[in-house]
């Protein structure tokens, strides 16, 4: 599979497939394709479908296959930002926020990732239920706004507002830390909790979380009155 990423601020990734090659996506992100690309929708087993339903994810995957020769399929982002290619292989697995996965080659597996630490589970918001990519191949994630990356050394930490966390390598551990002081909690406007990431490994941050944009425009949306 060869690919090219185009467009800004609503990027698309154009994937050129050889005959028989496949791409997988969990949502309606296909924007155009050649006629010889077929689609099959699959649930991936009852157990996996149930865990996806609990997490609020789509229970189904769309598998696109190039038939009778080479084909082309394009996937588009759902919010202004970037499409980032990820090379997934054993030892290079990634954890993504649950809305970040866009599409991947068929050799990449997508699974639900539950943070095992209670603090992260109850207070981490997006950090509780995330997605794990493993296997072999290229995957594409979409992020909100611009991408900022850090390579953390062993035991090096980064404190992040949870909504800005897009992805991190599985070697990075994640926990939740309370904002210190009652005045800071209630008057600081930064919420009660932050995400703490501990290295070693790569961390991917996004600069314009869609949740923050929604909160910013909410006061300007007229409320319905009877």
CATH of residue 216's domain is 3.60.160.10
- Residue 29 to residues 12, 141, 200: CA-CA distances in angstroms? 10, 12, 33
Rounded-to-integer distance, Cα 48 and Cα 62, Å: 15
Within a domain: residue 187? yes
Residue 51, pLDDT > 70, answer no
* pTM for the full predicted model: 0.83
- Number of C-beta neighbours around residue 113 at 10 A: 20
pLDDT digits (tens, 9 = 90+) for 156-176: 999 998 789 999 999 999 988
Owning domain of residue 124: 2-220
Within a domain: residue 27? yes
Q: How many domains does the chain have?
A: 1
């Amino acid at each position: 599979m060869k690919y090219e990423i185009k467009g800004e601020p609503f990027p698309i990734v154009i994937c050129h497939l050889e005959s028989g090659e496949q791409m997988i996506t969990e949502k309606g992100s296909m924007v155009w394709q050649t006629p010889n690309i077929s689609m099959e929708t699959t649930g991936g087993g009852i157990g996996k479908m149930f865990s996806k339903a609990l997490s609020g994810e789509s229970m189904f995957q769309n598998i696109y296959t190039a038939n009778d020769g080479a084909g082309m399929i394009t996937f588009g982002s759902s919010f202004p930002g970037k499409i980032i290619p990820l090379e997934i292989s054993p030892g290079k697995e990634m954890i993504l926020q649950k809305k970040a996965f866009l599409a991947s080659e068929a050799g990449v597996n997508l699974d639900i990732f539950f943070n095992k630490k209670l603090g992260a589970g109850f207070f981490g918001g997006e950090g509780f239920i995330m997605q794990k990519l493993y296997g072999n191949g290229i995957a594409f994630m979409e992020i909100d706004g611009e991408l900022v990356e850090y390579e953390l050394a062993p035991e090096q930490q980064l404190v992040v507002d949870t909504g800005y966390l897009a992805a991190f390598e599985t070697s990075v551990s994640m926990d939740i830390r309370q904002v210190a002081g009652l005045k800071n909690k209630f008057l600081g406007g930064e919420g009660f909790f932050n995400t703490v990431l501990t290295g070693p490994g790569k961390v991917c941050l996004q600069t314009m979380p869609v949740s923050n944009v929604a909160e910013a425009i909410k006061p300007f949306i007229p409320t319905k009155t009877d």
